[in-house]
Structure 1
Amino acid sequence: MPVLENKDITLNYATFGDSNDPALIFSNSLGTSYHMWQPQIDILQADYFIICYDTRGHGKSSAPNGPYSLAQLGQDVIDLLNHLHVDKAFFCGISMGGMTGQWLAINHPDRFEHLLLCNTAAKIGSEAPWLERAALVRENGLDDIAKTAASRWFTAGFIEQYPDVVRALSKALAAGSAEGYASCCEALSTADTREHLKDIRVPVTVLAGSQDPVTTVADGQYMVDNIPNSTLATIDASHISNIEQPDVFTQLIRHYLNT
Structure 2
Amino acid sequence: MAFARSNGIVLHFRRAGRRGGPRIVFANSLGSDLAIWDEVADALAADFDLLFYDKRGHGLSEVAQSPNGIADHAADLVGLLDHLGWRSAALCGLSVGGLIAMELAVRAPERVERLVLMDTAAKIGTPEAWNTRIEAVMQRGVAAIGDQIMERWFSAGFRDTRADAFAGWQRMLERTPATGYADTCRALRDADLTGAIAGIAAPTLVIAGEEDQSTPPELVADTARRIPAAAFRTIAGAGHLPCIERPGEVASLLHHFLSSTVAAKGDRLGRERAASSAGHPGPGPHFQE
TM-score (norm 2): 0.87
Per-residue Cα deviation, 1:204-233 (whole angstroms, up to 9, x for no partner)? 111111211221221122112211121111
Aligned ranges for residues 138-177 of structure 1 at < 5 Å? 138-177=138-177
- In structure 1, the residue matched to 2:245 is 244
SS of alignment partner, residue 12 of structure 2: strand
**Aligned pairs (5 A) from 1:2-21:** 2-21=2-21
| 2: CA distance, partners of 1:250 / 1:198 | 26
**Contact kept? 2:7, 2:75, Cα under 8 Å:** no
Q: Which amino acid aligns with 1:176?
A: T
1:84 aligns with 2:65: no
Equivalent residue, structure 1, for 2:136? 136
Indicate conservation of the 8 Å contact 1:130/1:186, yes or no: yes
For 2:6 and 2:221, how far apart are their aligned partners in 1? 36
Supply the distance in 1 between the matched residues of 2:187 and 2:212 (Cα, whole angstroms).
Answer: 21
Q: Deviations over 1:54-110 (max 9, x none)?
A: 011000001123321000111111111111001111111111111111111111111
Distance in 2, matches of 1:216 and 1:120, equals 9
Whole-angstrom CA distance in 1 between matches of 2:231 and 2:76? 26
Aligned amino acid, residue 204 of structure 2: V
Displacement, 1:25? 0.6
Structure 1 residue 255 and structure 2 residue 256: aligned? yes
2:95 aligned partner:
95
- After the TM superposition, list the runs of 4 or more consecutive aligned residues in structure 1 that deviate by more than 6 angstroms: none
1:117-173 CA distance string (max 9 Å, x none): 000011101112112211221111111122222211111111111111111111121
Give the TM-score normalised by structure 1: 0.97
Q: Is the 8 A contact 1:66 1:179 kept in 2?
A: no
The CA distance in 1 between the partners of 2:157 and 2:221, in whole Å, is 26
Segment drifting more, 220-229 vs 172-181: 220-229
- Aligned-residue RMSD, C-alpha: 1.2
Following superposition of structure 1 onto structure 2, how do residues 146-225 of structure 1 map, counting pairs within 5 Å?
A: 146-225=146-225
Q: 2:128 & 2:148 partners in 1: Cα distance?
A: 19
**Partners in 2 of 1:212 and 1:227 — Cα distance?**
21
- Quote the Cα distance in structure 1 between the aligned partners of 2:158 and 2:234: 18
* 1:250 counterpart letter in structure 2: A
CA distance in 2, matches of 1:8, 1:78: 12
**Any conservation in 2 of the 1:209–1:217 contact (CA below 8 Å)?**
yes
Select the structure of larger CA radius of gyration: 2
Residues paired across the two proteins, number? 259
What letter matches 1:23 in structure 2?
R
Which residues in structure 2 correspond to 1:24-173 (within 5 Å)?
24-173=24-173
Question: Structure 1 residue 246: deviation in Å?
Answer: 1.1
8 A contact 2:136–2:145 mirrored in 1: no
Cα drift, residue 201 of structure 1: 0.9
1:127 and 1:65 mapped to 2: Cα distance?
22
Q: What are structure 2's unaligned runs of at least 5 residues?
A: 261-289
Higher relative contact order (CA 8 A, sep 6+): 1
Are the equivalent residues in 1 in contact too, given 2:235–2:242 (CA < 8 A)?
yes
Aligned-partner Cα distance in 2 for 1:216–1:148: 16
Shift of 1:114: 0.7
Give the distance between the partners of 2:250 and 2:6, measured in 1 at CA.
Answer: 32
Assess if the C-alpha contact under 8 Å between 1:205 and 1:230 holds in 2.
Answer: yes
Q: Distance in 1 between matches of 2:228 and 2:153?
A: 29
Write the distance in 2 (CA, Å) between the matches of 1:33 and 1:115.
Answer: 20
Whole-angstrom distance in 2 between the partners of 1:177 and 1:143: 10
TM-aligned CA distance change 1:122 to 1:7, over 3 Å: closer
Structure 1 residue aligned with 2:230: 230
For structure 1, the residue ranges without an aligned partner over 5 or more in a row are: none
Letter of the structure 2 residue corresponding to residue 217 of structure 1: P
